[in-house]
Amino acid sequence: MTTELPTMFPWQSEVLERALKLKQSNHLPHAVMLEAASDYQMDGLARYLSMLLLCDQPENLSLCGRCEACRMMSAGTYADFSLVTLEVDEKSKKLNKNIKIDQIRNLIHELYLTHKYARLKIAVIFPAEAMNKSSANALLKTLEEPAADVLLLLITRNPGRIPITLRSRCQSWTIDPADERASLQWLADQGIDAAIAAQYLQYAGGDPLLAMHLQQQNYAQRVEKFKTSLAAFLRGGQSATELCKNLLSDEVAIPRRLIEMTLKAYCYKACGMDSAAQKISAVERDKARGLLDLQRRAQQQLQVEENNLDFQLQLEDVLISLKQILTRRLS
Ligand SMILES: [Zn+2]
């Protein structure tokens, strides 16, 4: 079975170059905490970086594709590579929220087994912040007594959510987010029309991979649909429950993103940031304060996703608060 070689993205080249140089000069650390620029394609990043470090003849950061390591990694048969990530729960069929202690124990066991090949052994964990306390503690012991010729790679978007004891034992690498020009260029290279690319990059807060993902989901159409329903709700033509039901026909990431975007837009508007500097009235200032509070609150509330009912209740609560703020008058 042969799978395609993973892809690298232009904005990752700095970190990839650094990794390769460290390997070539025999200075690779035992453990690295890599801060990724996007939640997307972490799997691809993990594989590409690992393959680059294993490849016999990488050229200009490209994989040779022919050596033993490249072939076996592509086929998923390279025994000295382990990847631990969130698993799908057998019962609920949903993605687990944590990386379980058993996964980490298995990984540690693998790390101390004899190398199968005369190369580096690589173990990757992502998203590393998904390790719970016991998983992180188990891993900590390994970092205190690292096995020889092993690279442990923790990939995360939120290093701050990883225990400092763990972080301090890793060398820290960061992938800087792509700038706007590079992002638009990359989206254009993927065959996305310039105007559409610009719109999606804005939806994605500047993350080209997320922009691509949203474009594949036809997010723009959902935004338009949501705007119409929200307007009806704010006019009183639709209840919060009805609006939520429509929203929840999508996976929760979509309504979460829609709400985040809407609150941000209203905040900008209330603060006068959407137009040339204008004097803000007392009503608008009050609105802005309420919206900023709601934005913070919504971020926390909409993280619940154990079951859909919880999420729906939180979503309704946020929407009702939004309506109250927007229709509030100074007494
Ligand atoms: Zn190769």
Domains, the chain, in order of start with CATH, read 10-176 (3.40.50.300), 217-326 (no CATH)
Measured in Å, residue 128 CA sits from the centre of ligand 1 at: 27
Average pLDDT value for residue range 70-95: 92
Measured in Å, residue 57 CA sits from the centre of ligand 1 at: 5
Mean per-residue pLDDT of the chain = 88
What's the confidence (pLDDT) of residue 14? 94
Average pLDDT value for residue range 50-55: 97
Distance of CA 307 to the CA centre of its chain: 21
What's the confidence (pLDDT) of residue 305? 59
pLDDT above 60: residue 306? no
Measured in Å, residue 323 CA sits from the centre of ligand 1 at: 58
Measured in Å, residue 63 CA sits from the centre of ligand 1 at: 5
Give the CA-trace dihedral at 22, 27, 28, 31, to 10 degrees: -130
Measured in Å, residue 68 CA sits from the centre of ligand 1 at: 7
What's the confidence (pLDDT) of residue 277? 47
Measured in Å, residue 48 CA sits from the centre of ligand 1 at: 11
Average pLDDT value for residue range 10-37: 94
pLDDT above 80: residue 182? yes
Q: Which of 65-74, 176-185, 320-329 has the lowest mean pLDDT?
A: 320-329
pLDDT bracket for residue 268 (50, 70, 90): confident
Measured in Å, residue 70 CA sits from the centre of ligand 1 at: 4
Measured in Å, residue 71 CA sits from the centre of ligand 1 at: 7
Measured in Å, residue 77 CA sits from the centre of ligand 1 at: 14
Query: In this structure, are residues 178 and 10 in contact, taking their beta carbons and an 8 Å threshold?
Result: yes
What's the confidence (pLDDT) of residue 329? 64
Query: Parallel, antiparallel, or unpaired for β 171-174 and 31-35?
Result: parallel
Measured in Å, residue 67 CA sits from the centre of ligand 1 at: 4
What's the confidence (pLDDT) of residue 181? 93
Residues of the chain with pLDDT > 70, as a percent, come to: 93
What's the confidence (pLDDT) of residue 288? 83
Distance of CA 204 to the CA centre of its chain: 11
Rounded CA-CA distance 72/51 in Å is 10
User: Coil, strand, or helix at residue 87?
Assistant: coil
